[in-house]
Structure 1
Amino acid sequence: MSVQDDVDDVGEFAALLRTLKERTDRSYGSLARRLAMNTSTLHRYCAGEAVPLDFAPVERFAALCGASAEERLELHRRWLLAVAARQRPRTASAAGAAEACTDTVTDTDTDTATVDGPADIPAEADPPPGRPWYRRRRVAVGLAAVCAVFAALGSLAALPDGRRASAGDRPGTAAPAPSGTAKTEAPDGKSPSLTPSGTSPAPRRSSPSATPKRLKPSPSPSVRTTPPAGGTASAPPLTWSADSQAWKLGCGHDYVVAKPPEQVPPPPVPQDAGVWAASQNAVHGGETLVRLSVQGRTDTAVVLEALRVRVVGRSAPAPGNAYAMDQGCGGSITPRSFDVNLDKDRPIARAVAGSDAGTPIPAVRMPYRVSARDPEVLLVNARTQGCDCRWYLELDWSSQGRTGTVRIDDAGRPFRTSGIKGLPRYTYDTSERRWAPYN
């Protein structure tokens, strides 16, 4: 079977997926959330850039799009052909590839220069028109590799005495060191550098742009441990991690961004929220949800005695606009959490019960016990209406006569939450692909 047949099989499968998708009038992000799938993954399937190895997500997609029994059968047939096409080994004669190097590679380079890759396509964008990626990139990469092999063989044949190229003949290879110099072997096993005899190589200086800027961490210590009588202080018997980019029910959240709507990109998927917020200098609007995971280092129980809130700064709410990541999301499950009102002079972490379809979920009552086999995930919901608050948490623990306090913050910096009362608020209109005033 020819390469063209393989391309047609994958393209026909992707075309049917797009037909079903367009029937729903839903965006890729909306469909992906209902399928528990990454938005970019669904987009690649519909664009013909990838073929799922399992038919289960395709079947769920067809059901969500309201496909008939005949359409599902046709979709399964096309999926089988597309999977076979993607898994079929491709071979081509080197001579024919060499003859096509100049024309095909030139045309491919021109084509790919005008088409963005999958990473540049917005999560809500429809598949761009044009030739499929596998018709552009595979041919270009394969022919370029064949041309490189022929060029290397030609350079070997061009040597005057027919001998093989030595180290000094190969481009990019250092010639033997002259007298008066010594080789200094790099500690990582890379190519040695030449330095004058009796001298040491100059230390490397990293480029200023390659060094990430670090914000100054808060002055308070992150860990405080009191050893038992007669003992010495050591590492705390527990570990923790904090995710401050959690969204309510996985879809609802607000950010304050000091930019007009036309300069703000579309909302990200929840797992990319941290990168999106950092790129826009965004501040949590109205509330910050912190998902705190706590686990003991061994099977020995560690008692979590108390969870406290420390506010280290208050100022007027941050200026800008409030951007809602969704128009609201409902669900029958409300997770238990710790509620924190940052507008109080002395805010406390108050345990709140949850609900699962009407069945109460008991609140986490301190003291609480964890170990290596019994971890715990705590959800802290800190909210404010009238301030730009900077805060962190303190977790008191005890184990086998030892006590201590662990500081929970945002990678060395306080968490930050700003009120959005009175700010212009926008939501993303997927049909118009722009930010619009929140209704």
Structure 2
Amino acid sequence: MSEVQDDVQEFAALLRRLKERTDRSYGQLARRLAMNTSTLHRYCAGDAVPVDFAPVERFAALCRATAEERLELHRLWILAVAARQRNRTASAPATDSAVAVHDGSLPETAEEPQTRQSLPEEPAPNSSPRRPWYRRRRLLVTAAVATALLATLGSLSALPDDDRSRASDSVRGADPTRTTTAGPRPTPTAWPKPSSTSPSPGASHTKKPSPKPTATAGSPSKGTGRQRPSTGLPLTWSANSHVWQAGCGHDYVISRPPQQVPPPPAPQDARTWAASLSAVHGRQTMVEISVQGRTSTAVVLEALRVRVVGRSAPVAGNAYAMDHGCGGALTPRYFDVDLDMDRPIARPVRGNDSGTPIPAMRLPYRVSAEDPEVLLVDARTTGCDCSWYLELDWSSQGRTGTVRIDDHGRPFRTTSIGALPRYAYDTSARTWGPYS
């Protein structure tokens, strides 16, 4: 029994190590694997072993297991399944009566010897066994049909040639007065099946057209549950580019003096405040992208790319800081983008929660209607006024595509603050002053 537990627990231990490598809970993993949360927890705890390796393979892929780890996981799964089977075999009762009932035979009783004595003796090995009644009946019917056929052929052969021709025609159901011509016989055609009601003498024998089918070719039939794959975009997204560092730190470049700039807004009002002043993101633009599938079918986010469509000299004006600096205990994971590179890329960076690291989000990643995801992009520049947007590649049910993520139809815009005058708002004096 200890050997059985060792094999199962070794398999469960590898599952737990793979699970701890991710930042997802049992519930999040179970939703992506289309299984119950308690079932996945029992597998990882060693309380149960899956009878099929398919869910284990999906679990390994979701946890980004290496090829060697997948081979080891398959080997341990085989040992765990075999151990559970040995355990069930050893614990099952092995009595004769149980085996007899399982095989479909009844257990012997005290009256069986008398029943066997009342049965007729088996025939000798050299004697032919007697056929069952249903086989004997088939032979009698066959012999009767053969006798009737021979009698009919004999009576036909005794007739003259002229009478024999008429008789044979009457047997075939043909008109005895028709004339026959020499030559090969025509190929017989299939006669239509007679209808259940005999037609009237004046009725036409034209065939009525069959009703047209209600479903067109290729369309799903009612009641089958099959649906034609959708041709539209399988996911939805929204983007917010006015996200501040730790909820309070951000810079805007505005071509106005401090006396004409209103106080800093609340973070939720930043878009309206910046649009009214024609403000441009200074030094940094943080974009929060919410991605969700339209249905429960999984959509795989394959890659996130950066497209810079314009570079120019930094915007002239003043830099206005939204605070004197703040920070929080939580730093979310994000994609870092250096806009000053010739070909900027979105590099995944891990986060931090009060000293506990948060693993970086690496694509590909799956989303659905029940399991949305938020992508945070942190784009920075120190030397240009950059216009850019993002491209998100997706795949679902054999289809692939790319969505453009921008600022309501326009590219995102980030400018360097360089040596621009920088101001901060003094809440006590209710005025903008030099940043210190």
TM range (shorter): 0.3 to 0.5
Bigger CA radius of gyration: 2
Given the two structures, how large is their TM-score scaled by the length of structure 2?
Answer: 0.47
Given the two structures, how large is their TM-score scaled by the length of structure 1?
Answer: 0.47
